Amino acid sequence: MPYVLAAIVLVVLGFAVWWFLKDRSPGAGEPATKSERSDFTRLLKQETDFHVHGSTARVTFDVPASAGDDDMMRDLMLKQGYEALRRKRTQGLPIENIESLEVYGMRDGSARLVATMPIDEAPPPLPEEHRDEHDAPAIVHHDPLAALTAIEPSAPPAISTGPGRDDLPPLGVDLRLPSSIDSAIRAKGVDPATAPASVLCGALLEHAGYLLSPQAKAGTFLATGRGGTSYVSFVDHAPGSYPELAESAIDQFMYGFISARADRGFLFSDKFGPYAVYAKEKREPRIRFITRERMQAFVDSIAMG
């Protein structure tokens, strides 16, 4: 009889422990774990609630509010929130007098404010890559490189050639990497803060799901995966050299792209882009020069996947 009572007590205690742990799970109110935050962008494809309060649009996503602690993730939530507002306007809703945007995540089963932004500071609409035929975010395999070619080419800003411009810092110093991407890159043995541009960009492409196949010329690859084949060239800044991409490097890239017969072409460099790259892109819309001032857009495109 004592053994039966002991067994009953153990069963009751075990059930009580299970019930306590169940209520303490992230889904029941605890902040999401790092692994859950790493792919939360998938949940940003569609908002769970949209309403207007006065002159403020409030957009809620079914993601942990703690994700907003990461600057990169907060920016992505604002971009997707603005896209939700833009989509509601195209659907004919009378919401033209909106002055600010608020985005919310979830905590303890309730919506919690993550970030706010004046509409006059809103980001541009997302590329068509992120929309489906109904003008809503598409649930598709995101192709970061295709998204870059979908963006209208813009002339790079003029750069200063005064003292100190030849000593460019490592590319990673100027980039904001989401914690999930930063961790994945470091797991490959790459320190974003010190790695050469070719190593860092190569690791980012592999993280995004591309397979890089080396070509005959050093620093050139064919990238496959996520749709299409891309000719990729890496040009690193050498200490003491001119900080702007040289015309000879541009011409070599163009020749390599034509010879490779790839669907698209991308030159990645931690140097700045001269005006000549803008002219090349206007003439050949399948190519993009991802130079230093454009590199954050490349990271953002990967993060959207």
- Give the DSSP letter string of 232-287: EEEEPPPTTS-SB--HHHHHHHHHHHHHHT-SEEEEEESSBPPHHHHHHHHH-TTE
Which of 16-25, 71-80, 151-160, 259-268 shows the lowest mean pLDDT across its residues?
16-25
Q: Which residues pair with 165 in a beta bridge?
A: none
Question: What's the one-letter identity of residue 60?
Answer: T
Q: Which of 38-42, 167-171, 231-235 has the highest mean pLDDT?
A: 231-235
Model confidence pLDDT, tens digit, residues 128-143 = 444 444 444 333 456 8
The encoded tokens of residue 107 equal: 């905590």
Every domain of the chain with CATH number 3.40.1350 lies at: 144-303
Report the pLDDT value the prediction gives residue 82, as an integer from 0 to 100: 83
Instruction: Specify the pTM.
Output: 0.56
pLDDT of residue 110: 83
Asked if pLDDT for residue 36 goes beyond 90, the answer is no
**Dihedral of the alpha carbons of 61, 67, 68, 73, in degrees to the nearest 10:** -90
Question: Residue 162 pLDDT more than 50?
Answer: no
Options 3.40.1350, 3.90.1200, 3.30.1490, 2.60.120; CATH for 144-303 is 3.40.1350
| Tens-digit pLDDT profile for residues 80-118 | 888 888 777 766 565 667 788 898 888 888 888 988 888
β 229-235/49-53 pair status: unpaired
Q: Is the pLDDT of residue 22 over 50?
A: no
Structure tokens at 162: 């005064």
* CATH classification code of 34-130: 3.30.70
Domain with CATH 3.30.70 in the chain: 34-130
